[in-house]
Amino acid sequence: MSASSKSTVEEIRARFDADVERFSQLETGQVAAMDSAYCLQLMADACGALHPQATSLLDLGCGAGNYSLKVLEAIPTLREIHLVDLSGPMLTRAQERLQQATAAMSFLYQTDMRELEFEEAVFDLIVTSAALHHLREEHEWVLMFEKLFRWLKPGGAVWIYDLLAEDSPELEALNRKRYSDYLVGLKGEAYRDQVFAYIEKEDTPRSLEFQVGLLQRVGFGRVHILHRNACFGMFGAVK
C-alpha cells in the first residue's frame, strides 16, 4: 500500500481518541506489540541507569502516559515531563495519572509530531513508543531524527520502542510468520487478521538498520540495541 493511501492524521487521531482505557493499562495496554511490558520496563531501566539525575523528559506519542510513569519510577528527580500526542483524551489521561504520581510539572502538546518545535538542547531524555512508524516518506524520518538530536542536551539520550520492517524480503516474511504465530496464540486467527489489516492501513515502519544508520547520520555517538524480537525492537542513542 502506498503512503498516500495510508490512514490520515485525522483517522489516526480518531482511533486513539476512542481507545484511552486500553492504553491506560501498564501491563496489558499494548499486548498486540510483542514484549511490550518487558520493553516498557527495559526502557525505564535504561533511562535510570544512564541518566539517574535527569530533570527533563519528552514523551513523544505518549498515549495515556505509561512510559512517562515508568521512567518517573526510575528517575524521581524529574521536574518537567513534556507529553506529545495527537489525541486530546490520551493527553488528558496521561496528565491525570502523572499528577497522581509526582509533583513534577507536566506540559501538554496536542499535535502531529512532524509539526513539533522546541529550542535546542532542552531535554535530558526523549522516549517514544509505537509512534515513529506513523512517519511516511524518508524525508520525514530524517527531519524527525534531526529534531530528536537537536532537542537533546549534550549527553542526553533518546529511546525508541517500535514496530520494525525488514530490508530483506525473506527475513520480512520470517518475522511476519513469527508475529502471526504470536497473535494467533494470543487471541486467535481473527485477531491476527484484524491487527495485520490495521498495520497495512496505518503503519509505515522502517528497518532497525535504517533507523540506527539515521541516528548516526544526524550526529548521535553511541547507539544501543537493547532488544529485538521479530518485527519489534527497543533501541536508543546518546548525544
What does each of the 239 residues of the chain score in pLDDT, given as a tens digit? 555 677 777 776 766 656 656 665 655 457 889 999 999 999 999 999 999 999 999 999 999 999 999 999 999 999 999 999 999 999 999 999 999 999 999 999 999 999 999 999 999 999 999 999 999 999 999 999 999 999 999 999 999 999 999 999 999 999 999 999 999 999 999 999 999 999 999 999 999 999 999 999 999 999 999 999 999 999 999 99
pLDDT score of 16: 64
CATH assignment of 3-238? 3.40.50.150
What pTM was computed for the model? Answer: 0.92
Cα distances from 113 to residues 105, 177, 215, in angstroms, run: 21, 31, 17
CA 13 to chain CA centroid, Å, is 16
* Residue whose entry in the numeric block shows the C-alpha cell 549527553: 155
Q: Which of 111, 141, 114 is nearest to 207 (CA)?
A: 141
The domain spans of the chain are 3-238
